[in-house]
Chains A and B, each alone.
Chain A
């Protein structure tokens, strides 16, 4: 994961529960499922922390045109897949916000500003934010999204932001918190724990 400050898009739609970001980027730079990101809110007084859970490639005329031709060369195909700045839209779940230096793990008081730039959270901030595990509760409460896959991806991201020596302990603790939250459903817990294995 890089901690560079390059924006990964802008907010196009939002509510306090999450936001939608859009960007044109070549595939290697797309944000990935389970990425922590931030977007300004409250005139820059706070930042909403989002967890990216859905990426979609927007309709693109060239891609459509290319898809329709029979004579697409391998180089063109590779170009589309590697180089092209495809319009990407992604949804982020609000899992907290930052107020000054402090991270709070609950729904933000206000949604981010429209067109606010969205940035990846730096590794240091990911560590800081994920030191608390209250955000898991927010994720688990969400319906109709692949919550467990998202938890796994987010926690693996959070573990990866830590030094090698701390990762296992972190994942154990996080998985235990998941166990507390979904302990009623052992089948679900079992697969969740499996996906959190270091």
Chain B
């Protein structure tokens, strides 16, 4: 059965009305937010930093760097001979209805030698996980999707480090279709300390490799929804004595995003100042000299804002930072605001439903051949029945 469209249509109208109302409300908030940010910018770095310190561990906003808050930066010219690499991953989550319990990760990547005229090099790396220890956490429970995501993210970083190895000694910008912080670690650290640490260390190790082979790396986040900078603006508005958990929580700009702010502040091609991500996870990164900073970037003339994350060793090196800035803009030119290498990395990585079906067919066949009765669960089978009936009607 398809979607009951007549029923949905009525709801759809209400939905659009509500969305329009929200938008209008947000637009009304924006001037105040901008004023607050300008106020924050009027403070000295020391004043602002002192205020942040006052907010303590629970503060989740951006922390300032020495770059003035309102500063904007034009991109430097693009280095000739630059290599731009990109990686992206996709996965098949473990499914207890499948003929066998497994999960899979596939990472696609490519490296483009700018100005060479050559077709980029492409690589696809697929990995099947089926061992008991891969499939279960330390307590013996089946792992969740977050763990799979973590492995995928780690593989992505490994792919980028590999590209950097391939082009060691040449200027290289490696782009990740994600933030640099390994988010899954925060989600599942408790249940699976050991594995998470292993993955995290491997991830950080790959960042070392990247840096050591002379490349630089950036995470690219399209349509960022974060409001870290607005949190900082809000913090700046508080009197030093009024800084409390309670005050931080009642952030009037909560519904807004940094994107809305920087859409107004940046001209196409310009980047904002760098900020430091205050996630507790960044502490692990900082300890390994990969503290993550970020800036906003207007990638095209239509005003698309992206958030770009870089490790401190990139942010602190004007040349490297400029290189990242210029490379991302160059990549976004033909694609309408999203780096070309990431579009292609995604295309290489993606596992379609059809691929997945084929894989399961193969698994089933192999297991049968080796005398292991492998059958999808009855539920999966019935699902397939209905699915294939729909296919025939196409």
Contacts and interface: CB of A to CB of B under 8 A. Distances in A.
A81 interface: yes
Contacts of A84: 344, 347
B117 A78 contact: yes
Interface stretch (B19-27, B247-255, B335-343): B335-343
A89 B28 CA distance: 51
Name the interface size band of chain B.
20 to 34
A79 B334 contact: no
Contact of A69 (B110, B112, B333, B348): B333
Contacts of B112: 75-76, 79
Nearest to B122: A83
Given A76-B334, A78-B117, A114 B392 contact: yes
Given A84-B344, A85-B347, A78 B119 contact: yes
Interface in B116-156: 116-120, 122
A75 B392 CA distance: 41
Nearest to A78: B119
A73 B344 CA distance: 14
B391 A83 contact: no
B119 A69 contact: no
B287 to A, nearest CB: 38
Interface string A56-95: 0000001001100101111110110111110000000000
Contacts of A10: 354
Contacts of B110: 79, 83
A65 to B, nearest CB: 6
B113 interface: yes
Nearest to A114: B392
B113 A75 contact: yes
B122 A115 contact: no
Contacts of A62: 335, 343, 347
B202 interface: no
Contacts of A114: 391-392
Nearest to A72: B334
B119 A82 contact: yes
A65 B335 CA distance: 7
A73 B114 contact: yes
Select the residue from A73, A84, A114 with max chain B CB neighbours within 10 A. A73
A133 B195 CA distance: 63
A74 B117 contact: yes
Contacts of A82: 119
A91 to B, nearest CB: 18
A114 B343 CA distance: 31
A158 B206 CA distance: 51
A69 B344 contact: no
Given A83-B119, A83-B122, A76 B336 contact: no
B336 A75 contact: no
Contact of B334 (A71, A78, A115): A71
Contacts of A78: 117-120
Contacts of B113: 75
A168 B99 CA distance: 52
Contact of A81 (B115, B119, B348, B391): B119
Interface string B361-374: 00000000000000
Given A75-B112, A79-B344, A115-B391, A65 B117 contact: no
19 contacts: A62-B343, A62-B347, A65-B334, A66-B334, A66-B335, A69-B334, A71-B333, A72-B334, A73-B114, A73-B330, A74-B116, A75-B116, A75-B117, A75-B118, A78-B119, A83-B110, A83-B122, A83-B344, A85-B347
Given A75-B115, A79-B112, A79-B119, 19 more contacts: A10-B354, A62-B335, A62-B343, A62-B347, A65-B334, A65-B336, A66-B334, A69-B333, A69-B336, A73-B114, A75-B116, A75-B119, A75-B120, A76-B112, A79-B110, A81-B119, A83-B110, A83-B119, A114-B392
Across the A-B interface, give the 5 residue pairs with the lowest CB-CB distance, nearest first.
Answer: A78-B119, A82-B119, A74-B117, A69-B334, A71-B333
